[in-house]
């Protein structure tokens, strides 16, 4: 079993890459490579857009960004839609970097960041209008339990949006299982 400490250490180690991987987007994701997308930065912006597509976001919208990294999505959505965003992360340094990014973009009052394990959320019931997992749902140790918690902290009529890895078909061949294990171990993912 992969510990949350290993996940936190992995992302702590990657922190400098958030600034160089996709300049200006402050994310560490695969992104969405739609037609016309030409760079990693554009693919990450496209992923942000997809996650909120079709939603009526405004200054009254309360969003939870699960696994918020250094605040790239949270700052983007607060700046573009005026939403209030709470980001949770396992990395203490990410909170400082997130708050700095929010301050630089003049959205710090709308953005709050805190240390919290997504597997043990301590939010009150019916708190959020939207919950985002951007390539972080895979880190839920017990996915069914996590989704129950999502349901609990979502307001009635709220939305959960996720962009993440998935296994298309089971059972996998032995060769596919070996390849999957390499990916899961490399990214410290407990399971898909």
Which H or E run includes 42?
helix 40-52
Statement: residue 1 has pLDDT above 60? no
Q: State residue 123's pLDDT score.
A: 98
**Per-domain residue ranges of the chain:** 4-187
Residue 51 burial (C-beta neighbours within 10 Å; 0-12, 13-18, 19+): buried
Classify domain 4-187 at the CATH topology level. Answer: Rossmann fold (3.40.50)
Q: Are 50 and 77 in contact (CB under 8 A)?
A: no
Mean pLDDT over the full length of the chain: 87
Q: State residue 26's pLDDT score.
A: 73
Q: Are 57 and 74 in contact (CB under 8 A)?
A: no
> What is the percent of the chain with per-residue pLDDT over 70, rounded to a whole number?
82
In the chain, the largest separation of any two C-alpha atoms, in whole Å, equals: 51
Which H or E run includes 7?
helix 4-20
- Read off the pLDDT of residues 44-70 as tens digits, 9 standing for 90 and up: 899 999 999 999 999 999 999 999 988
Q: What is the pTM assigned to this prediction?
A: 0.86
Mean predicted confidence (pLDDT) in 19-42 = 78
């Amino acid at each position: 079993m992969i510990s949350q400490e290993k996940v936190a250490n992995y992302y702590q180690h990657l922190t400098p890459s958030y600034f160089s991987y996709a300049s200006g987007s402050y994310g560490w994701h695969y992104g969405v490579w739609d037609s016309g997308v030409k760079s990693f930065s554009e693919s990450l912006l496209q992923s942000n857009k997809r996650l909120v597509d079709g939603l009526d976001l405004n200054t009254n919208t309360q969003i939870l960004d699960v696994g918020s990294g250094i605040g790239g999505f949270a700052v983007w959505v607060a700046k573009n839609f005026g939403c209030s965003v709470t980001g949770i992360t396992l990395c203490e340094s990410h909170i400082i970097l997130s708050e700095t990014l929010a301050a630089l973009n003049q959205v710090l009052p709308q953005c709050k960041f805190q240390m919290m394990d997504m597997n043990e959320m301590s939010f009150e019931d019916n708190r959020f209008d939207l919950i985002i997992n951007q390539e972080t749902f895979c880190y839920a140790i017990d996915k069914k339990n996590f989704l129950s918690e999502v349901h609990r902290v979502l307001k009635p009529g709220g939305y959960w949006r996720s962009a993440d890895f998935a296994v298309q078909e089971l059972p996998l061949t032995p060769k596919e299982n070996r390849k999957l294990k390499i990916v899961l171990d490399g990214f410290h993912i407990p399971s898909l």
